[in-house]
Each structure stands twice: as C-alpha cells, then as structure tokens.
Structure 1
Amino acid sequence: MKKSILTLALFATVSTAFASHQDNVPSIFTAGIIESANATQSRWVKELSGDKEATSIAKKLFVEKFVLQYQSLFQQYKKVDRSQFVAFEEQQLNDTIQAHREASIKQAHVRFGVLNKNKDGKISLKEFQDIGEKSFESFDKNQDGIVNEEDAKLETKKSSMHGGAMFKMAVSIPVATDVNSFIEQQGQGEKYVTLAQFLTEREKQFTDTDTNHDWGLSEEEYVAEFTHRYDQNAAEAKARLNVFYNERFVAIAQGKTQVSQKDVKHFAESVFKYWDKNNNGKIELDE
C-alpha cells in the first residue's frame, strides 16, 4: 500500500488549527504539516520527485506521483465517500506512527545510555542538567545567559531546505532546531529564555519523571516518560489530521458525495498550480 505524503514526512509539532499555515498558505495546498511555505514547497519537490537533491518538479510527474498515493484505494473502489477516504488516510497515518513509535522508543533507550555518564543505571539530576546546559548553550549564541532575538540575529540562517534536509513528520516530540523555536517552546509566552528559568523547568521535569522519588531516573522511568509524551502528541496529531483529511476530501469532491481517481487528479493539478508561482510548468525551489 502506498504511503500518503502526509505520513512520509519527518518530525512535526502538534497544532490544533490548519487554517493558519505558518505563512498563510491555505491548508488544502499543504501536506497537512505546520511548517513554512518554503518547507512545504521543498517537500512537494523532493518527496514527489523521489530525489532529495531535486530543486524542481514538472507538472506531469507531480500529478502522477500525487495520484499514486491513492492507487490502492481506487483499486479497491471506483469511487469513495468521505468516510472511506478519511479511513484510508488514517490507516496510512496509523501504520507510520506505529513504525515511528517503535523506532523512537528504541532511541529513548539509547539516549538513556548516553545520558547515564557514569553507567550506574540511573541518570542523576546533575547528569540531566549538564545535558540541559549544553543544549541551552547551543542556542545562546552570544553566551550571555539569555536566549533572545539577539541570538536569533547571530544564528546562521538556512536560506532553503535544499540538499536533502529532514522534513517534519506528522507526529513526534517537538524538538527545537533553531533559536526561535527554542524560545517558542521554552519561553512560557515571553520572547526570551534565561538559563536559570530553563534549568528550573528541567528540574521539574526530572522530579516528575522520578516516580519513586530516589533522585535518580532509571531506564524504565526515563523511557516511560518519553513514551507518555509521544503518545500524547500522537493522539493530538491524529485528531488534528482527521480535520485535515476531511478538509482535503471536501476540496477534492467539490460538492459531490463521492470522489474518483479522476477527481484526485484534478485536485493534484490545482495544488500544482498554486505552487507553480511563475507559471512555467514546474515547481521550482525559491521561485
């Protein structure tokens, strides 16, 4: 069964709204992921072309690959209603989440071993905070103990997502990848994060994870906390994407109660037209 573009993407934050894509791109022209317009454009080019180094994709290939995502659905049914369409999308998502969840939990076990520096079978508060300080320092570009807009100005900017950059996934634990996302996640509504504030929140996380209150995180406690957060994000993402799948069906159906593969093709053409900004028959990065 072909995987939907919605579920092949990598690493996503959870959001509750689709109408406000990060750059005000109408949600029906996205892959259901909250990201910048440049990232979505790059996603369409690289994933549908099957080439992580690609910088453009022609209309014929774009439409062909978009429709191919639903091939197994229309091999089973000539036409599908909304419930069948949404169920198909959700099954693709569930399959991907299951595989990603298993891999993520394995990585959590690996991270425990890395954090447990003295190999005594427990992560101490000091070990936990040492990693936190290193993380903070990576965003505190001027090393003044505060992560704010000044650090964002000093950060080396990526002009695009060329070169096979990783894409966000429909569901996973949100991870800060730059100064602004770090402030958004850790700033508690403010436009800055202090080291003291960051470490205080980490200590709270540590004590909440330390369920037997022995001031050491066992591998079981560490992985259980990660798994709980992962499953919370997955549940929220599933609910959010259910809205998106229904929205996509409505866009494809154009008032009809059932859609065919031909309708999906017409929709793919409309998505392509939106992203072909210079109307030259190609979606080109940075156009």
Structure 2
Amino acid sequence: MMQRRSTALTLFLAISSCYLAADEKAPKKPAHQPTAQGKASFIQDYDLNKDGTVSQAEFEQVRQQRYGAMDENQDGQVSVDEYVNEYAGRLDKKLETERTGQIKQTLVRIEALDTNKSKAIGQDEYNASGDKAFAYIDTNKDGVISKADPLPERERKPDANQRVRARPALVMPTTHSVDGMLAMYDQNGDGQVDKVEYQQQRDAAFARTDLDKNDELSSDEYLSEFVDRLDRQIAKTRTAQLKQAAVRFKALDKDNNQQVSSAEFNASGERMFKRWDTDLNQQVTMAEALPVINNEQTKGTAE
C-alpha cells in the first residue's frame, strides 16, 4: 500500500534548510516540555524485553541496530536518503498496524450505531449518535462548539489508574474533542460549529456514504467511506513525517558534511537517554519524574 523509498536527496535537504532558516529567524519560544505520552513512546520504542523499563544497555542495543540498518552501503556513514529510508520502514509498519486497529474499532462502532440490529444504520440512528456527540463536546451548552467549551468532565478527571499510551503515528480527527469537531465540521473556518452547520455536514456525509441511495448505510458503505478517509490521512501523515525526518537528519549532522557518523548518532542518543533518565540510575521508567527542558537543552537532540 505504501512505498518505502524516500524522495530525492535534494528535496529533503531543501525542506530541512527551509525549516532551519525559518527557525533561526524566529523569536525564541519556550522549550516544548516532555510529556508522559512522549515517555511512553520512548519506552515502547526501546524496551526490548517489554518489562516496562528501558535500561541503558537496551537503549544502546536498539540504537546500534538502527544505525546498522540505516547504513545500507556499509560505508560507516549515513546519508539523508539512508536515514529517511530506515525511518520510513519503521513508520510504514506502525501505520499499517494502526490502520488495522482503526478498522477494527470502526467495525465495533458500526455495531454500536445499529441500535435496532437491522444490519444497517438508518438516518435516525446516525442522527442520534451525532446528537450525543455534539451534546458531549458542547460543555457550556450554548449550542456552539468552540474553544470556549471546557473539557468534558471525564477528560478533566481522567482515571488515575489508566495506563499512559504511547503517541500514535496516525491521528484521525474524531468527535471526542473540540479540535476534532472543528476539523471535521467547521466548514466556514470561523473557529466554531453551531448545530445547523454540524447537521448540514452530517447530512452531507450520510448522503455521500449512502452509495445505493436507500436512505440507510450498510456496514460496507460505512466502512468504505471511513477507509477512504483513513488512507488519505495515512498518506498525509507519511509525507509530513518523512519531511520531518529530513529535518532531524540536519540536526544530527553537526559537521554539515551531508552524512551522519556513528559518533554524531551516538552523541544524540546519549543526550536523549539522559533527558529521560531523570533519577540518573541508567534506567527509564514511567514512575520517574518528567524532565524539564530549556531551549539550550533541546539543541541537537534527534532520533
């Protein structure tokens, strides 16, 4: 479904140069602070024995394996194409896994929408689900979804026992958040969605999905429409992530020779591990405190 090869070297270098030039001219912003979800992603990537802990030995083993996989021609250096190609292979596997998960979740959603168990989703069932979603996000009950709506109570008070999940590669807009609602239904771009605009978009989506025009959605119709949106989002995500990989390559290439040496790669990895290992015990776990990063500490740290 997805091609592994990256685009040409010149394209990625041009993109990365544009990013870096813009960054140099931009005013300094507060450093982006690490999150629990970011740490969960780190542990997922490097915890070889799946015990919930990343030892320094595990981390270094994975890094060595990745560098070896990147260096396709075994010349002891990694070019931007080699770097991006290796990342593309890992990204494609993750996207394919998450695609499968999204489809399984959609099949469950179809069952939930079919409340009368007729093996089809009628307009009334579709609208009832939409009404619930709107009411859930419109927390200030003004009939409009916007940034003015506080988080739903369930989101404000998450279950303390709930495990922090790693950051997904694939994020689809959903009706479970203000951002998702705006992305899906704010057609005039005014930063809000009222009930009329919402229902217009819902009606249009129902009609577009109802391919045989029988005023109900079969599971195949519903799934087909979702998979089409899903695959478009995968393509968009993949393009953006590979462009960002070229930017990371530029950050790793300290001597600007268009190659990343093992020394440059290892130096970045050492900084990365130390950032998460806040209790300095050569292990990273979810239990230890999150790091606090300043602007200087963020320089030169890349995957």
Length-normalised TM-score, structure 2: 0.68
Please report the RMSD computed on the Cα atoms of aligned residues, expressed in angstroms.
4.1
Taking structure 1 as reference, are residues 68 and 83 closer, same or farther at Cα in structure 2, changes over 3 Å only? same
Q: Tell whether the 8 Å contact from 1:123 to 1:216 is kept in structure 2 after alignment.
A: yes
Query: Is 2:169 the counterpart of 1:170?
Result: yes
Q: Tell whether the 8 Å contact from 1:66 to 1:268 is kept in structure 2 after alignment.
A: no
Alignment match of 1:67 (pick from 53, 63, 69): 63
Alignment match of 1:92 (pick from 86, 90, 93): 90
Give, in angstroms, the shift of residue 168 of structure 1.
3.7
Q: Tell whether the 8 Å contact from 2:37 to 2:167 is kept in structure 1 after alignment.
A: no
Alignment map for 1:24-35 (pairs within 5 Å): none
Corresponding residue number in structure 2 for 1:32: none
Tell me how far apart the structure 2 counterparts of residues 61 and 89 of structure 1 sit (CA, whole Å): 22
**Cα displacement string for residues 157-188 of structure 1 (whole angstroms, at most 9, x for unaligned residues):** 479x9963334422242225433553454333
Length-normalised TM-score, structure 1: 0.71
Corresponding residue number in structure 2 for 1:30: none
Tell me how far apart the structure 2 counterparts of residues 154 and 96 of structure 1 sit (CA, whole Å): 30
Alignment map for 1:230-245 (pairs within 5 Å): 230-245=230-245
Query: Is 2:107 the counterpart of 1:109?
Result: yes
Tell me how far apart the structure 2 counterparts of residues 152 and 18 of structure 1 sit (CA, whole Å): 34
SS in 1 for 2:217: strand
Tell me how far apart the structure 1 counterparts of residues 36 and 54 of structure 2 sit (CA, whole Å): 10
**Cα displacement string for residues 197-239 of structure 1 (whole angstroms, at most 9, x for unaligned residues):** 2122111111111111111111111111011001000111111
Q: Tell whether the 8 Å contact from 1:82 to 1:257 is kept in structure 2 after alignment.
A: yes
SS in 1 for 2:172: coil
May I ask how many residue pairs the two structures share in their alignment?
Answer: 257
**Structure 1 range deviating more: 121-130 or 180-189:** 180-189
Q: Tell whether the 8 Å contact from 1:108 to 1:223 is kept in structure 2 after alignment.
A: yes
Tell me how far apart the structure 2 counterparts of residues 185 and 62 of structure 1 sit (CA, whole Å): 41
SS in 2 for 1:70: helix
Query: Is 2:269 the counterpart of 1:268?
Result: yes
Q: Where does the alignment leave 5 or more consecutive residues of structure 1 unmatched?
A: 1-16, 27-36
Corresponding residue number in structure 2 for 1:82: 80
Taking structure 1 as reference, are residues 238 and 49 closer, same or farther at Cα in structure 2, changes over 3 Å only? closer
Point out the structure with max Rg over C-alpha. 2
**Cα displacement string for residues 93-141 of structure 1 (whole angstroms, at most 9, x for unaligned residues):** 1111122222222222222111111121211111111111111111111
**Structure 1 range deviating more: 198-207 or 75-84:** 75-84
**Structure 1 range deviating more: 242-251 or 71-80:** 71-80
Query: Is 2:210 the counterpart of 1:206?
Result: no
Corresponding residue number in structure 1 for 2:42: 48
Give, in angstroms, the shift of residue 72 of structure 1.
4.9
Structure number with the bigger relative contact order (C-alpha 8 A, sep ≥ 6) is 1
Tell me how far apart the structure 1 counterparts of residues 77 and 134 of structure 2 sit (CA, whole Å): 53
SS in 2 for 1:47: helix
Alignment map for 1:81-160 (pairs within 5 Å): 81-152=79-150, 157=156
Q: Tell whether the 8 Å contact from 2:38 to 2:167 is kept in structure 1 after alignment.
A: no
Percent identical across equivalent pairs? 23
Alignment map for 1:216-227 (pairs within 5 Å): 216-227=216-227
Tell me how far apart the structure 1 counterparts of residues 119 and 246 of structure 2 sit (CA, whole Å): 47
Q: Where does the alignment leave 5 or more consecutive residues of structure 2 unmatched?
A: 1-17, 293-303
Corresponding residue number in structure 2 for 1:285: 290
Tell me how far apart the structure 2 counterparts of residues 154 and 118 of structure 1 sit (CA, whole Å): 28
Corresponding residue number in structure 1 for 2:10: none
Taking structure 1 as reference, are residues 61 and 182 closer, same or farther at Cα in structure 2, changes over 3 Å only? farther
SS in 1 for 2:93: helix
Tell me how far apart the structure 1 counterparts of residues 141 and 124 of structure 2 sit (CA, whole Å): 21
Corresponding residue number in structure 2 for 1:258: 259
Give, in angstroms, the shift of residue 71 of structure 1.
5.0
**Cα displacement string for residues 62-113 of structure 1 (whole angstroms, at most 9, x for unaligned residues):** 9748735725516863322111111110011111112222222222222211
